[in-house]
Structure 1
Amino acid sequence: MAKKSFIQGAVILGIAGIIIKVLGAFFRIPLANLIGSEGMGYYQTAYPIYVLFLTLATAGIPIAISRMVSERIAVDDYFEAHKVFRVSFILLFSIGIVSAAICFFGAGQLVGAMGNPGAKFAMMAIAPALLFVPMQAAYRGYFQGMQDMKPTAVSQVTEQFFRVVAGLFLAYFLIRYGRQYAAAGASFGATAGAIGGVLTVIAIYLYKRGSLEHNIQRTKRNGGEKSSSILAKIFVIAIPVTIGAAIMPIMNAIDVGIVMRRLQETGWTYEAANSMYGQLTGMAGPLINFPQVLTQAVAMSLVPAVAAAYKQKDMHFLRENVQIGLRMAIIIGLPCAFGLMALSEPIMLLLYPMQRESAMNAAPCLFIMAFGVIFLSTVQTLTGVLQGVGKQMIPVRNLLIGAVAKVIITYTLTGVESINIRGAAIGTVVAYMIAATLNVIAVKKYTGAKFNFTLTYVKPVIATLFMAAAAVFVHRVLFGITGNALATLIAVGTAGAVYCVMLFVTRSIEREEIVRLPKGKTLLKIADKFKK
């Protein structure tokens, strides 16, 4: 039953994740066209600071809530499970108040330290979200502990919907007053979304209150675990997860200061440096983040399988899952990376037609960062493996090593005038490359897994090269006939079809894996035709 619940929950969260990313694209792309790279520079200065505070406030606590609630419900103790929820809600609400106050009243100092004082209003506008998002996290963790993923999925989609609508409307309304105010309007979208999300999850909680209250009263008793003990357990679980989740936001926040200062030191004006940073993070960045939805789904599905096999000491099954998980990550990451590289400029021009010059300037950054998708996919998947075998601090250490390397490389290369903003993109790729390599070494050490080089890398690479060649060929043939937009869309569709066919031709996916896919038997019949 638990296994069935997990699979259903993973599917629900996966679908929600895709919807959220699509909505995010509908937000960022029109926003960049509306407020330009200057406005995106203000927005992208405030947003990483917000994400950093949000990560520190909530990252590990929902996981701790979920685990502790689940443990208590497993022994039919709904009363103590609800007590965990109450204690954690008070904790998160308190953290939210402090975080929101710091970011609102200290907005000028925070963005000033990042070298971009023009982002003050954007920081103030996004600060209140730090009060409402932690409140959501408490409810989500509670429901997840009961293996009910629907409230989390629904509230996440609702939050993103309100964020997109409010953010774009306010940016459009405020652009007449200047790009700083338009960026602030876009930032307030996060606050509006957080309010919408928390109201949604509270409504779901009230709807389910009757059945919840019945079980709580049925298992109610005097005494029980002290609140201080619950708090201590929450922190023991949450702190390592929070440290790991905070590394990338910290790295991105540091990036702002390094990039802005180093670019200006090499002769670029403040306005030019701000625009270049907006091109990197506001235009190219969202495209790199989109494939993570799929690789996160792989990691999410892999963790319980690895954890169960490890606990049962079934090392053969564990290694089999590790091998399949990494191959799936590579099969997903490679086409995303090479597709974005092959069509970097056409894709940027397709998405940002009103910012043609900025789009063309951002294309080289997209080309470089796209290569990092391969390593990011590996990092995410193998982090799930290491968490499953109880080595959750190892991927944290590995990512930290990569982050230190990124700071050094970004500082060095952005100071080279001919490289400029591309140095930050190179630093990001190197960071993930280092973390991925160290994760592979750690997984081999702690699981004994051995990876078939030909099956894991060579065959998917062959399929990917055919795909990339098809994408470039189709775009070049159609560009002069249909223009860039239609040529790019057809090229992407053709590339996807070619890649799927080549996976079968190269036998990159084995028979038993095909059967496990949706419509697996039908796909297997198709695959068999290519073998004849």
Structure 2
Amino acid sequence: MNRTDSKQSLMKGAMILSIGVLVSRIIGMLYRIPIRNILGDEGQSLYGVAYSIYVVILTLTAMAIPGALSKLIAERRAAGAYKEAQRVFRLSMMYSLGFALIMSIGLWLGADFISDTFYKSQDVALPIRALAPTIIVATSLGVFRGYFQGRGDMTPTASSQIIEQIFNVIFSVVLASYFMQTTHKNLVWGATGSALGTGIGAVAGFIVLIFLFIKKRPQDKMELEQSREYTYQSNGMILKQILSMMIPVIISASIFSFMTSIDQSMISSILPKNIEYLRNNNLLGVVPVIDAPIYSTASIVNQLSGQLSFQYMTFMNIPVSLILQLGLASVPAIAAGMAAGQVEDVRKKTKMIFKVGMLIAAPSAIAFMVFAKPILTLVVGDSSGSELLSAGAIAILAIAIAQLSAGILQGISKQSIPTINALIACGIKIIINLIALSNPKLNIYGFVHSTTICYVIYSILNMYYLQKYLKLKMNWKKILIKPTFCAAIMGLLSLAIYKGLLLLGIPMKLTILIVMPIAVVIYFIVGVGTHTIVKEDLSSIPGGRKLISLLKL
């Protein structure tokens, strides 16, 4: 495979993963409308708190598996050692399921303690218990996805994500509505119904992967017959290698998941005092809650927590998740390149990955900064949380750099470095949280700004070590500054068109639907005109050559 084909293969895999994530995210966003109507901000907050605990546990059991396993399988398959690749898969499944079972039981039994100790309420315990069994299923999903990604096949991951989200949406809405009706609008039971829908979605995704795994069996048998010898490793040695790949990634991901839980805990314990201060000084107008003075302090805190957990994080995660797929797709490709000694090819792929990532991140950040209010109004039904989304959108750039650099460091077997950097960045975030909370006027915005600073620090540290170990020279003008400039031009022109259409009396929702595709076209034209988007960028993506021919580049 030549370098151009190699790049196209990498980008095709990333695009397949991105499509899967994009579709599932869109479905997830659309379901926020009925679920918010059913549960309200307070009910969403209960589910959000329980889900953040679930994510912490899932990080330990599953989130590191796809990247780590795909790397180990890709290395063995690159050497033709198909039997060893299968062996790694089986051992990963055995270890992961055993650990997931222990953690699931622990979460079930410890739900009351977690709810009481960290959130000063028993309201979160039942939704936590509803999510506990899902850990086992979600962990199995992670192992299967890592297996397929290591084979260079991203379609099973994408298709299972879509099916998982569809079933999640249907059953979350149905069960939340059912429990709210049968328990006289008890928010705890409503949040529990939504949590059960998450589990049913995971089961549906698991069934899809089992079907695709069985479908691959004939091909597996043919490969096993042609398998080459590989340096012998005992089960213990393989398990040790798996763990050496997974543990740093798990710790790194756990740090950020735990950081989310710390944020929620700080919101529950410290923010009420700030809200009381603002109330006593007639300053509740600085709080991004409509008609804040008519609500109790507890209700305001729950609404702010709901905005942070859902409107802010949900929308931020759309471009972030797309870029993350590029990082995930790069791990086996980078690992295979390093195993073959093709360091220069790895450097070129690394630069391409960052360029494509920034071409996605920059317009996403500007779009949310400029159009947060109409986008939320269109998708969710009102603009609650738009101030948070607009204030924190710039973080998308830092998160993109951090995620991509962490994925590539994992691909070159330097996975412990992002872990140390994550610990440093999150430690600084806690300090910034405390400083921000000392100023009541910042209220929930303090958490948004501390997140941005955290990822800026994390990305700088990761890039320092990535450039050091790969002896890499990054052209930041080409990779970051020019895409951001093009995105800024897009934002200014799109905003002018948006305001012009509003002056003509066109409704806001219809206006933003008209402006969004126009903004994409503007960004592309400005990108090509300033040579930010070049022939090489387009040729590395599926269908890019046809686009080059059409545009006569």
The alignment's TM-score, normalised by the length of structure 2, stands at 0.85
SS in 2 for 1:482: coil
Cα pair distance change 1:515/1:231, threshold 3 Å = closer
For 1:250, the aligned partner's letter is: F
Asked if the contact 2:12–2:542 (Cα under 8 Å) also holds between the matched residues in 1, the reply is no
For 1:261, the aligned partner's letter is: S
Cα offsets for 1:63-108 (capped at 9, x unmatched): 4444444555556655554444333323222222212212222212
Is 1:387 aligned to 2:410, yes or no?
yes
SS in 2 for 1:266: helix
Question: Which among 94, 98, 116 is matched to residue 98 of structure 2?
Answer: 94
Ranges in structure 2 where 5+ consecutive residues have no aligned partner? 277-296
Is 1:376 aligned to 2:399, yes or no?
yes
Cα offsets for 1:197-250 (capped at 9, x unmatched): 2222223334444554676689899xx864434332322222122122222111
In the aligned structure 1, how far is the partner of 2:261 from the partner of 2:535? Answer: 45
Cα offsets for 1:85-138 (capped at 9, x unmatched): 333323222222212212222212222333153222211111110121122333
Is 1:22 aligned to 2:38, yes or no?
no
Q: What is the match of residue 476 of structure 1?
A: 499
Question: Which among 178, 197, 206 is matched to residue 198 of structure 1?
Answer: 206
Q: What is the match of residue 235 of structure 1?
A: 243
Asked if the contact 1:156–1:197 (Cα under 8 Å) also holds between the matched residues in 2, the reply is yes
In the aligned structure 2, how far is the partner of 1:474 from the partner of 1:512? Answer: 31
Asked if the contact 1:340–1:366 (Cα under 8 Å) also holds between the matched residues in 2, the reply is yes
Question: Which among 171, 175, 181 is matched to residue 170 of structure 1?
Answer: 175
Question: Which among 291, 301, 311 is matched to residue 273 of structure 1?
Answer: 301
For 2:521, the aligned partner's letter is: A
Between the two structures, name the one with larger relative contact order (CA 8 Å, sep ≥ 6).
Answer: 2
Question: Which among 60, 64, 88 is matched to residue 60 of structure 1?
Answer: 64
SS in 1 for 2:124: helix
In the aligned structure 2, how far is the partner of 1:442 from the partner of 1:180? Answer: 46
Is 1:334 aligned to 2:362, yes or no?
yes
SS in 2 for 1:343: helix
Asked if the contact 1:343–1:471 (Cα under 8 Å) also holds between the matched residues in 2, the reply is no
Asked if the contact 1:365–1:425 (Cα under 8 Å) also holds between the matched residues in 2, the reply is yes
Structure 1 residue 382: Cα displacement: 2.0
Q: What is the match of residue 130 of structure 2?
A: 125
Is 1:397 aligned to 2:397, yes or no?
no
Structure 1 residue 415: Cα displacement: 4.0
In the aligned structure 2, how far is the partner of 1:366 from the partner of 1:495? Answer: 19
Structure 1 residue 40: Cα displacement: 1.1
SS in 2 for 1:391: coil
Cα offsets for 1:292-334 (capped at 9, x unmatched): 2332243345445655665666665544443333232222211
Show the 5 A alignment for 1:444-483.
Answer: 444-480=467-503, 481-483=505-507
Q: What is the match of residue 507 of structure 1?
A: 531
In the aligned structure 1, how far is the partner of 2:216 from the partner of 2:476? Answer: 50
Is 1:417 aligned to 2:402, yes or no?
no
Q: How many residues align?
A: 522
Show the 5 A alignment for 1:218-367.
Answer: 226-268=234-276, 269-303=297-331, 306-307=334-335, 317-353=345-381, 356=382, 359-360=383-384, 362-367=385-390
Ranges in structure 1 where 5+ consecutive residues have no aligned partner? none
In the aligned structure 2, how far is the partner of 1:448 from the partner of 1:205? Answer: 39
Structure 1 residue 290: Cα displacement: 0.2
For 1:461, the aligned partner's letter is: T
Percent of aligned pairs with the same amino acid = 29
In the aligned structure 1, how far is the partner of 2:56 from the partner of 2:501? Answer: 44
The alignment's TM-score, normalised by the length of structure 1, stands at 0.89
In the aligned structure 2, how far is the partner of 1:74 from the partner of 1:515? Answer: 25
Is 1:441 aligned to 2:464, yes or no?
yes
SS in 1 for 2:158: helix
In the aligned structure 2, how far is the partner of 1:313 from the partner of 1:217? Answer: 27
In the aligned structure 1, how far is the partner of 2:343 from the partner of 2:75? Answer: 25
Cα pair distance change 1:460/1:200, threshold 3 Å = closer
Q: What is the match of residue 150 of structure 1?
A: 155
Asked if the contact 2:433–2:450 (Cα under 8 Å) also holds between the matched residues in 1, the reply is yes
User: RMSD of aligned C-alpha atoms?
Assistant: 3.0
SS in 1 for 2:393: helix
Cα offsets for 1:443-462 (capped at 9, x unmatched): 33233333334433443233
Query: In terms of mean alpha carbon deviation, does 33-42 or 65-74 score higher?
Result: 65-74
Q: What is the match of residue 17 of structure 2?
A: 13
In the aligned structure 1, how far is the partner of 2:74 from the partner of 2:408? Answer: 21
